């Protein structure tokens, strides 16, 4: 999903979130499991204070299991409930439902004691662009779901997706913004393809990826492209261009094409399960 990042837009998104958050019990925050720090905005802790919290580490199919384990522990120690998933699959949705019930059991118990029946837990999905919010809402809601429409006391136009008698989800996710001020955040989001504003040109971006992989996942490039990865970064890109026949009309090597190729293959998991940040 594309989103334009100018201050007015961000202010509006934040104001909307402040309004929506009043309506809910639980914040379901999605992060990208490959970069759980850079793909979140800690402003949500202030916005979502006094709410139940669940962190979904999404795109876990692409992330390094070891890194994910470390991040799970990191977030759990901070008191968040955590589930790792691939939002495109429905397989995780029962587990997530159970965790939501568990996280909110205090409220459910309180309601029960007061004799309040049938008041479902209300949840809202939040996250920066491209972490998989829409994908998750679709998978979680499934097909059989009826939108409940407006309710008394609820801002006009709000749609709640009724998941079952226990849980309702706001149908529009809250959009958080990345921490642009931090250059490494921008670089990492660019590497996974989550910001299209070129903060670097494509060759430089591919070179950053090559540098990172050589240092942290030695052998990944060599195995995929059948090349010597110990060479200089530019030499590695050149070797990939040769191996993959990235050649311009005039016959010279096409670096840009090789750069896009290696970035695409990284982003789609063809270089293996790779994380860009460790806890």
Q: Write the DSSP string, 166-184.
A: SEEEESSPEEP---TT-HH
**Which is it for the CA torsion 88, 92, 98, 102, positive or negative?**
negative
**Beta-strand relationship, 121-127 and 146-147:** unpaired
Q: Is 95 in the site for ligand G4P (CB under 6 A)?
A: no
120: left (phi over 0), alpha (psi -120 to 50) or beta: beta
Q: Is 131 in the site for ligand G4P (CB under 6 A)?
A: yes
d(CA 53, CA 103): 8
Q: Is 87 in the site for ligand G4P (CB under 6 A)?
A: yes
Which residue of 88, 119, 242, 244 would you call a contact of ligand G4P, by CB under 6 A? 88
| Shortest distance, position 88 Cβ to ligand G4P, whole Å | 5
Piece of 5-13, 57-65, 143-151, 206-214 that binds ligand G4P (CB under 6 A):
57-65
Q: Which residues contact 94 (CB under 8 A, 6 or more apart)?
A: none
Q: Is 172 in the site for ligand G4P (CB under 6 A)?
A: no
Does 236 show up as a binding residue in the annotation?
A: no
Nearest to 234 by CA among 251, 252, 209: 209
Contact at 8 Å (CB) between 165 and 111? no
Q: In the complex with ligand G4P, which residue's Cβ is closer, 214 or 267?
A: 267
Q: Is 171 in the site for ligand G4P (CB under 6 A)?
A: no
Does 58 show up as a binding residue in the annotation?
A: yes
| Shortest distance, position 178 Cβ to ligand G4P, whole Å | 12
Q: Is 178 in the site for ligand G4P (CB under 6 A)?
A: no
Which residue of 13, 93, 134, 203 would you call a contact of ligand G4P, by CB under 6 A? 134
Binding region for ligand G4P (CB under 6 A) = 1, 58-59, 61-62, 86-88, 127, 129-135
């Amino acid at each position: 999903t594309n989103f334009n990042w100018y201050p007015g837009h961000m202010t509006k998104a934040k104001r909307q979130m402040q309004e929506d958050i009043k309506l809910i019990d639980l914040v379901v925050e999605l992060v990208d499991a490959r970069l759980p720090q850079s793909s979140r905005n800690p402003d949500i802790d202030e916005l979502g204070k006094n709410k139940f919290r669940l962190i979904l580490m999404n795109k876990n199919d692409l992330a390094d299991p070891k890194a994910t384990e470390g991040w799970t522990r990191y977030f759990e120690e901070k008191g968040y409930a955590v589930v790792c998933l691939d939002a495109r699959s429905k397989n995780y949705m029962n587990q997530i439902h159970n965790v939501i019930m568990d996280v909110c059991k205090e409220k459910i118990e309180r309601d029960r004691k007061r004799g309040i029946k049938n008041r479902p837990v209300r949840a809202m999905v939040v996250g920066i662009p491209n972490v998989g919010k829409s994908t998750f809402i679709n998978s979680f809601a499934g097909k059989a779901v009826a939108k409940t429409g407006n309710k008394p006391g609820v801002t006009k136009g709000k749609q709640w997706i009724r998941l079952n008698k226990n849980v309702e989800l706001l149908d529009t996710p809250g959009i958080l913004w990345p921490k642009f001020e931090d250059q490494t955040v921008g670089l990492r989001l660019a590497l996974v393809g989550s910001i299209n504003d070129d903060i670097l040109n494509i060759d430089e971006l591919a070179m950053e990826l090559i540098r990172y992989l050589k240092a942290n996942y030695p052998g990944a490039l060599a195995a995929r492209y059948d090349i010597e990865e110990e060479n200089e970064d530019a030499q590695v890109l050149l070797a990939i261009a040769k191996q993959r026949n990235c050649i311009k009309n005039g016959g010279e090597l096409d670096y840009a094409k090789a750069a896009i190729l290696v970035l695409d293959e990284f982003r789609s998991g063809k270089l293996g399960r790779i994380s860009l940040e460790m806890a």
